[in-house]
Structure 1
Amino acid sequence: MSVFESSGSSRPITAVAWASNNTTCPSQFILITQTEDGGSGNFIRGFAIKSGFYLCYSKDLSGGMVVADVKVITDKETIPHGYCYIPEFLEPKTSVGKKKRICVRMVPVGSVTTAVLDLKLTAKNKTMVQQYTCLGDMSGFVVWCLKGQFSTPAPQAKPRSVSLDMRSLSLEGAGPPLPLKPSNPPEASTKFSRRRSKLDTNSSEEAVYDSGNHSNIHGITAMDGVPFSLHPKFDSKSNTKVSVSTLNDIRIKSVQDIENEYNYTFAVEELAAKRICPSLSG
């Protein structure tokens, strides 16, 4: 299987950076410690070199950005529009050379279908990496990148526990009955609430706010203890019989009659909306 055949399922690179070693390299980054021909990936070369800097990259998609392109430019070139220099995670006494620098173009993951999938290093003028794009040489190394289509991993749903009541609502065939857990029945209440007792009693001597009972004080309203009765003028009408002639005088309106009666053009509101409010002077 070729590289491009498998690139469809590859995850894109989301960040590129410099790091001195595994200690300074962030946990989500991969440090390129070796070249394709087995040499050291340290960009600082020499005898008994204790510090240096390595190229590293990340494929963590939590930030929502991917690397769409990588370039190696010289200090005399202007950084292209939309590109930025890669960050540095280095030791205090270590610095990256500025004669040639690496810059990347970051884009949202949902805006592109192709991105940078891999980075490799080779010794200068020794090894060719098939199907990779040569970005240029830097400090005796040649930087290569692979571009192609990528696929983001589909989010997986978290498993949920199904309760007994939800299982009983299943559309599938009913299985064997599940044993019910024993529970303590609620104790029978022998006390009436203050609201019910005050509606049933006609005694005006009992206070609404009893100093000896503060448990239901938030359930007491201003209508507690007030008897319900109709106004006398309505009470007299309820005892009289309605004649048939009175019922015949009632007119049943049609839908069109109701629309004509309550038709409103909203002209006043339209005039107010078109009116320009005067500006406030400070």
Structure 2
Amino acid sequence: MSVSRAHSRPITALAWTSSGTTCPSYYTLIGTTEDGTAANFTRGFGLKSGYYLCYSKDLAGGMVVSDVQVISDKDTIPHGYCYIPEFMEPKASVWKKKRVCVRIVPVDSVTNAVLDIRVTAKSKMMLQQYTCLGDILGYVLWCMKGPFSTPTPKAKPRRISLDLRQLSLESSETQLPLRPSNQPQVPPKLSCRRKTLDKNELNETVYDSSNIYGITAMDGVPFALHPKYETQTNEKATVPMLDDIRIKSIHDIENEYHYTFAVEELAAKRSRPIFSQP
């Protein structure tokens, strides 16, 4: 038995089922053991019919089985584990003396999970690279754990047309590909001496209202100054009087802000009174 751990898909669910008819379509039924005998659990007291173990590797739910344990009815189920579901016929039942519980976690939260589950007859053979989980009704359950890989969804190929003529908003004329003999025309440079522009020409070039891209939020809003500033524009600007400003030198500034710290020196030299002890 050669199992590639690096490329194996993890088990996402375990369950009990009565037969192939009650087993869900996305589950795989374990019908025979590794030594070739039937894997039908039918040796328990009070069991009217047998049942099989089945597993699923459907990653649609985004969950994987990270661990499997076989416990008795006297043991407390471990924290984070749950009993496996049962897809049984109405009158069929599962033996309760020993139960199978699993730990299901999100696929992105772990790097190792249960990759495979096998069933053998009790004390018949040992499976290499598998962990023994325990025995139930004369059968031994084995599991293999290891790193797993999920299938990467492949992007559906799309045909991208290189013809961009349909995206043009201005004209539908056929445009040739850019070549050295068919380069776009460079707009002529304007002279810097031109100081005045025609007002109508400026409005047509900047605010072209022939399409929605030439319309701005300021269209139709008249330009006017606030009345508060209209009176100030009529008055003549007064030049501030600079005669009273005196430019001080560095020497003047040092003399003006010179401080001798005499008060602080006097306070530091003042001695504290000494009290004599009786």
TM-score range, shorter chain: 0.5 to 0.7
Which amino acid is 1:8 matched to?
A: A
**Corresponding residue for 2:108?**
110
**Corresponding residue for 2:16?**
18
Change beyond 3 A, Cα 1:21–1:167: farther
Which amino acid is 1:142 matched to?
A: V
Cα drift, residue 156 of structure 1? 1.0
Q: In the alignment, does 2:128 pair up with 1:137?
A: no
Q: Note the residue ranges of structure 2 that are not aligned, 5 or more in a row.
A: 168-176, 178-220, 225-232, 240-278
Of 30, 34, 37, 2:35 maps to 37
- Alpha-carbon displacement from aligned partner over 1:17-38 (angstroms, at most 9, x marks no partner): 0111111111111000000011
Cα drift, residue 78 of structure 1? 0.4
1-structure distance, mates of 2:51, 2:13:
16
**Structure that is richer in helix per residue:** 1
2:60 counterpart SS class: helix
Report the structure number with the largest CA radius of gyration: 2
Which amino acid is 2:17 matched to?
A: A
1:55 counterpart SS class: strand
Cα drift, residue 2 of structure 1? 5.0
Contact kept in structure 1, 2:113 and 2:148, CA below 8 Å? yes
Of 122, 125, 135, 1:124 maps to 122
Q: Note the residue ranges of structure 1 that are not aligned, 5 or more in a row.
A: 175-227, 232-241, 249-282
**Corresponding residue for 2:229?**
none
Cα drift, residue 160 of structure 1? 2.1
**Corresponding residue for 2:5?**
7
- Matches for 1:248-263 after TM superposition, within 5 Å: none
- Matches for 1:164-175 after TM superposition, within 5 Å: 165=163
Cα drift, residue 52 of structure 1? 2.3
1-structure distance, mates of 2:96, 2:11:
24
C-alpha RMSD of the superposition: 3.5
2-structure distance, mates of 1:230, 1:43:
92
How high is the TM-score relative to the length of structure 2? 0.57
Change beyond 3 A, Cα 1:37–1:160: same
Counting aligned pairs with the same residue, the percent is 67
Q: In the alignment, does 2:88 pair up with 1:90?
A: yes
Which amino acid is 2:68 matched to?
A: V
**Corresponding residue for 1:195?**
none
- Matches for 1:28-107 after TM superposition, within 5 Å: 28-45=26-43, 51-107=49-105
1-structure distance, mates of 2:10, 2:62:
11
Cα drift, residue 44 of structure 1? 1.4
- Matches for 1:205-244 after TM superposition, within 5 Å: none
Which amino acid is 1:24 matched to?
A: T
2:127 counterpart SS class: coil
1-structure distance, mates of 2:65, 2:71:
17
1-structure distance, mates of 2:43, 2:17:
15
2-structure distance, mates of 1:81, 1:230:
75
